Amino acid sequence: MAGLVGKFFSVGSATMASRVLGFVREALIAGFLGAGPVADAFYAAFRFPNLFRRLFAEGAFNTAFVPLFAKELEAKGTDGARRFAEEVLAALLVVLLLISAVAMLFMPVLVGTIIAPKFADDPAKFALTVELTRIMFPFLTAMSLVAMFSGILNSFRRYFLAALAPVIMNVVFIVVLTGAWYLGASDRTLGISMAWGVFLSGLLQVSMLVYGILKEGFPLSLRRPSISRPVRRLVTLAIPTAIAAGITQVNLLVGQIIASGQDGAIAIMNYADRLMQLPLGVIAISIGVVLLPELTRALAAGDTGEATKLQNRSIEFGLGLTLPAAVGLFTIPVPLIALLYERGAFTRDLTEITASVLAWFAVGLPAFVLIKIFQPAYYAREDMKTPMWFSGANAIVNVTLALLLFPVYGVAGLAIATSAAGWLNVVLLGGALWRQGLLQLDAATIRNSGIIVATSLLVGLVLWAGQGIFSEMLLHDALGIRIFSVLALILVAMLVYFAITIGTGAIPGQQLLRLLRRPRKNSAT
């Protein structure tokens, strides 16, 4: 357990740095642009290259690449794995450059039909969205290379550097935003500056990962593209995963299309999502990055007992940190949003709307983490089709609920739809694993999970009572009082939660303390 949790913390610490800086970034955007037309245009434009990034990089490609690369490494050693990686790199670059060229050429059509069709009512907003998307689209190629190089490092059990790469984007963003503001840039110039910041951050992240694989003694050369047998196998595995990832991204895109009919809705969803991404990114991403290669190794060695243990400990770790976070975000969303965003162009009305979106996103937070735990059980066994079908069911529910709820509840209805669809995916993934005997919860997992659920509900009562008693301080005009009261309430809730869970053994307190005291140099392994 300690070794697995240590790897989670290694990735989680780097991801935490990225998410904290992401908060600074979003707070700056909220303060400078609010939920105005430039913020809407930027987030709509950024969604499109992100869609393809998650489809090709984090989705289909990386999920299929990591198990195959790990097996090549085990079976044929470093030389065989390098040959496979170089063949994949050559094919990947050809595909990505072709997609980027076509997309940038037909960007006005894509914005008018897919990205934000309702922006056509505002020609200036539409034109800005086209321009921003063209600037940022090469980010797809950079992030796909980052995903590949990260997969290589993860297969060598080098997790920290790959997790640290996203920090670069947030640092670049903050520098660009503050620099443009200092120079007195207009809102439009600020949006264009952010787009070029995205482009630059992609190049810097690729450079960092290239340094990582060179330091690992695994240099790659460019080959002439060829469709070898391992590459064909990768494509075969990647296609159903691409469809599954594509369905998920279509979900998000449909939500954006629906939201584009309400001024500021796209920006509001992004502000709420950024706050939810702190626990989701730190916990779910760290689990997903570590669990897939670890499960692949255990199954390749025929050690099903170790695979079951890895999954159970991941469930405990995920729920232990996610449930109290979800309860907190659901219970006190208004004070949190007000503290982080309410200044400059971000008004109290925006706080109220964004808080309602955050609360409903929080309902789905544990589901999104459990999905990251259950999916590697399929991918490690090279079963890419089952998650694909479940993603299809997820999409149908999400889109249907979004269309039904948006006219009634506005942008909050989209968050309700997202969370409901997430829980459906958990039930389908977990249920199928259970029926196949691939999900076997031991007594310790059942006991610890029960304690975590009960204690999280108690934390919710503490936060609810505290919000009622100190409501004026939590939303006080003085920022210092607001910071002190929000942090004090969160600290009391954390003390209650960890006192009970560590005291009962539901969370391994001694192992966590050892990890926190461990010298930082060890976290890179």
Residue 217's region, left for phi above 0, alpha for psi from -120 to 50, else beta, is left
Task: Quote the tokens at residue 22.
Answer: 């992401």
Q: 235 CB contacts (<8 Å, ≥6 apart)?
A: none
Instruction: Quote the number of domains for the chain.
Output: 1
When mean pLDDT is compared across 159-173, 277-291, 325-339, 487-501, the lowest value belongs to: 277-291
Nearest CA to 8 out of 161, 159, 164 is that of 159
**pLDDT tens across 165-174, in order?**
778 888 898 8
pLDDT bucket at 95, cuts 50 / 70 / 90: confident
Q: 424 CB contacts (<8 Å, ≥6 apart)?
A: 393, 394, 397
The CB density around residue 105, as the number of other CB atoms within 10 Å, is 11
Task: Quote the tokens at residue 514.
Answer: 């050892």
Q: What percent of the chain has pLDDT over 70?
A: 84
Report d(CA 389, CA 395) in Å as an integer.
10
* pLDDT(103) > 90: no
Which of 51-55, 133-137, 227-231 is most confident?
133-137
pLDDT bucket at 375, cuts 50 / 70 / 90: confident
DSSP structure string for 44-64: HHHHHHHHHIIIIIIIIIHHH
* pLDDT(12) > 60: no
Q: Is residue 195 part of a domain?
A: yes
pLDDT of residue 2: 45
pLDDT of residue 61: 63
* pLDDT(84) > 50: yes
Nearest CA to 283 out of 316, 307, 331, 252 is that of 316
One-letter amino acid at 212 equals G
For residues 205-228, average pLDDT:
86
pLDDT bucket at 385, cuts 50 / 70 / 90: confident
Cβ density class 250-283: b for 16+ within 10 Å, e for less: bbbbbbbbbbbebbbbbbbbbbbbbbbbbbbbbb
pLDDT of residue 323: 93
User: Is the Cβ–Cβ distance between 396 and 247 less than 8 Å?
Assistant: no
pLDDT of residue 275: 83
Task: Quote the tokens at residue 133.
Answer: 């998307």
Residue 478's region, left for phi above 0, alpha for psi from -120 to 50, else beta, is beta
Q: What percent of the chain has pLDDT over 90?
A: 23
Q: What is the DSSP letter of 435?
A: H
Give the chain's mean pLDDT: 82
One-letter amino acid at 233 equals R
pLDDT of residue 496: 95
When mean pLDDT is compared across 58-67, 79-88, 123-132, 167-176, the lowest value belongs to: 58-67
Model's pTM, two decimal places?
0.68
pLDDT of residue 426: 94
pLDDT of residue 245: 62
Q: Is residue 308 part of a domain?
A: no
* pLDDT(521) > 50: no
For residues 409-428, average pLDDT:
92
**pLDDT tens across 266-314, in order?**
788 878 887 887 777 667 666 666 666 677 677 767 777 888 888 888 8
pLDDT of residue 155: 76
pLDDT of residue 244: 66
Q: Is residue 104 part of a domain?
A: yes
Report d(CA 30, CA 260) in Å as an integer.
18
Q: Is residue 278 part of a domain?
A: no
**CA 285, 290, 293, 295 torsion-angle sign:** negative
pLDDT of residue 52: 63
pLDDT of residue 357: 93
pLDDT of residue 164: 75
Long-range contacts formed by 69-76: CB under 8 A, 24+ apart: 69/151, 69/152, 69/155, 70/155, 70/293, 70/296, 70/297, 70/300, 71/296, 71/300, 72/230, 73/155, 74/297, 74/300
Q: Is residue 510 part of a domain?
A: no
Q: 481 CB contacts (<8 Å, ≥6 apart)?
A: 473
Report d(CA 479, CA 32) in Å as an integer.
18
Report d(CA 40, CA 260) in Å as an integer.
8
**CA 199, 200, 203, 205 torsion-angle sign:** negative
How many CA atoms are closer than 13 Å to the CA of 471, on its beta-carbon side? 6
* pLDDT(4) > 60: no
Report d(CA 506, CA 9) in Å as an integer.
18
For residues 50-72, average pLDDT:
67
Full residue range of the structural domain in which residue 163 is found: 37-242
Q: Is residue 89 part of a domain?
A: yes
**pLDDT tens across 458-475, in order?**
999 999 999 999 988 998
- Angle in degrees, CA 141, 142, 145, rounded to 5: 90
Q: 414 CB contacts (<8 Å, ≥6 apart)?
A: 255, 258, 259, 265, 269, 357, 402, 405, 406
* pLDDT(518) > 60: no
Burial of 1 (0-12, 13-18, 19+ CB in 10 A): middle
For residues 188-209, average pLDDT:
91
Q: 61 CB contacts (<8 Å, ≥6 apart)?
A: 92, 144, 147, 148, 238
User: Is the Cβ–Cβ distance between 345 and 33 less than 8 Å?
Assistant: yes
- pLDDT top residue among 379 and 129: 129
* pLDDT(128) > 80: yes
Report d(CA 47, CA 53) in Å as an integer.
10
pLDDT of residue 524: 36
- Angle in degrees, CA 520, 173, 181, rounded to 5: 130
Task: Quote the tokens at residue 288.
Answer: 């997903």
Q: Is residue 149 part of a domain?
A: yes
Report d(CA 506, CA 448) in Å as an integer.
4
One-letter amino acid at 390 equals F
> Radius of gyration (Cα) for the chain, nearest Å?
23
Q: Is residue 90 part of a domain?
A: yes
pLDDT bucket at 145, cuts 50 / 70 / 90: confident
pLDDT of residue 520: 40
Provide the 3-class DSSP secondary structure of residue 158: coil
Report d(CA 102, CA 91) in Å as an integer.
17
pLDDT of residue 298: 75
